[in-house]
A and B are shown apart, each in its own frame.
Chain A
């Protein structure tokens, strides 16, 4: 359980980090909170020869209001998200997902950038980021670009970040007037999601669904939006039978994965139940 040897760099600026990454792109790994990378390195599933530790870059550690968006630096931790007044006030779904990640210690070290760049299919944050239509900023040698969350997660452990790019920020539209809920099924108190569902919705005074967005994690090999469920509910009255009928569409077009925790059938069942629960919980907020 000892990682392989590596050269260690702690760049003092983003610019320096990017040039170190470009110079070592085949052998380097970026280190943020280390809560995924260290276990992988100990198991020697990752054997980087160069580690670029961005953990000290204060310029990537912030949560701030940016007009009708919230801008979150890559180094904000899950604890920062869960406790941010701004997030609790304007896009609480992010805090609702962050507060159930792992345990206190993991939340204190794990970062937004690391969690998203890692793209483990059982991580919680991707579901919330998808449901919130967040945008992800990538910085590379040729400058910056924005990637919509819907185009960010490609497949298991694979995103649309290029090897010489760093994730530097995510930008989330404020969801004033929306209600939300994140819930997950996991094996123990502090475990990865077998299924996690992030729901954000807006309803009119008479209970008609004006808008709804549902992000699902743990079910397929990558987190996704339950578009069929959303389409079935938008403009409809949110009564129990409409919700139950729509929830059954959650795995439409998706192949639920099989692992030690759950069969595909059980995963599909959980996904349906958690879609219903999060819609009901959001409405009751």
Chain B
């Protein structure tokens, strides 16, 4: 039996009929067409599907869409303001923080979440904060450099 969910995604309210077993990751990509959130492993290990729900970092493949009912979701599409990229996005470009780009949306959401909690993390804290996000390409060095550059520029209010 389908169920109605009302979810605010990147500031816009969506009201959709979904099957309860639909994962939040598929809701975002297929039901409302926001394909910036990637799906890698789909079993909760790679972090490619990472988004923020009510400001908390989560893997959207480990949540049913119905569990997001009444909540606010922020995806990678919600970070830039018009043409002005978010400081973490700018820093990933400046530091070559991605190659194929598959892990990037999840990485950026995790980095943004980390910097909101801890505006000036040490290298160890950055690595720990991104431990749930795997990257096959970069070896992480440029990603850590990007997060260091973005540190202090994320609005944590």
Contact with B along A30-43 (1 / 0, CB 8 A): 01001100110111
Q: How far is the CA of A8 from the CA of B50 in the complex (A)?
A: 24
Interface residue A2 (Cβ < 8 Å from any Cβ of B): yes
**Does A109 lie at the interface of the complex (its beta carbon under 8 Å from any beta carbon of B)?**
yes
Give the residues in chain B near A31, CB-CB below 8 Å: 64, 67
Interface contact B66-A106, CB-CB below 8 Å: no
CA distance A43 to B44 in the complex (A): 12
A1, closest chain B residue (CB): B42
**Within residues 43 to 82 of chain B, which ones have a CB less than 8 A from any CB in chain A?**
43-44, 47, 50, 56-59, 61-64, 66-67, 69
Contacts of A106 on B, CB cut-off 8 Å? 44, 59, 62, 132
The reply to whether A8 and B66 form a contact with Cβ atoms under 8 Å apart is yes
Interface size in chain A (residues, C-beta < 8 A): 29
What 0/1 pattern do residues 138 to 152 of A give for CB contact below 8 A with B? 000000000000000
Q: A189 and B44: CB pair below 8 A?
A: no
Among A51, A104, A189, contact of B20 (Cβ-Cβ < 8 Å)? A51
Interface presence of B90 (CB below 8 A): no
Query: Does B103 touch A at the CB level, under 8 Å?
Result: no
Q: Is the CB of A10 within 8 A of B129?
A: no
Asked if A42 meets B20 with Cβ closer than 8 Å, knowing A104-B57, A108-B58, A190-B131, the reply is no
Q: Does B12 contact A (CB under 8 A)?
A: no
Most B CB contacts (10 A, CB to CB) among A1, A2, A104 go to A104
Using CB atoms, name the residue of chain B closest to A189: B131
Pick the contact of B63: A1, A4, A10, A34 (CB < 8 A): A34
Contacts of B128 in A (CB 8 A): 104, 189
Is the contact region of chain B dominated by helix, strand, or loop, or is it mixed? mixed
CA distance A260 to B128 in the complex (A): 25
Q: Which residue of chain A is the closest to B56 with respect to CB atoms?
A: A108
Contact in complex: A38, B44 (CB < 8 Å): yes
Contact B43 A105 (CB under 8 A): no
In the assembly, what is the distance between CA of A39 and CA of B41, in Å?
11
Residues of A within 8 A of B20 (CB): 5-8, 51
* Distance of A199 Cα from B45 Cα, bound (Å): 29
- Asked whether B1 is an interface residue with its Cβ less than 8 Å from the other chain, the reply is yes
CA distance A43 to B62 in the complex (A): 13
With a cutoff of 8 Å between Cβ atoms, the chain B residues found around residue A41 in the complex are 21
Residues on B with beta carbons closer than 8 Å to the beta carbon of A26? none
A positions within 8 Å CB-CB of B: 1-8, 10, 31, 34-35, 38-39, 41-43, 51, 53, 55, 102-106, 108-109, 189-190
A to B CB contacts below 8 Å, 21 in the list: A1-B42, A2-B21, A5-B20, A6-B20, A7-B1, A8-B66, A34-B62, A34-B64, A38-B23, A43-B43, A104-B57, A104-B128, A105-B47, A105-B59, A105-B132, A106-B44, A106-B59, A108-B57, A108-B58, A109-B63, A190-B132
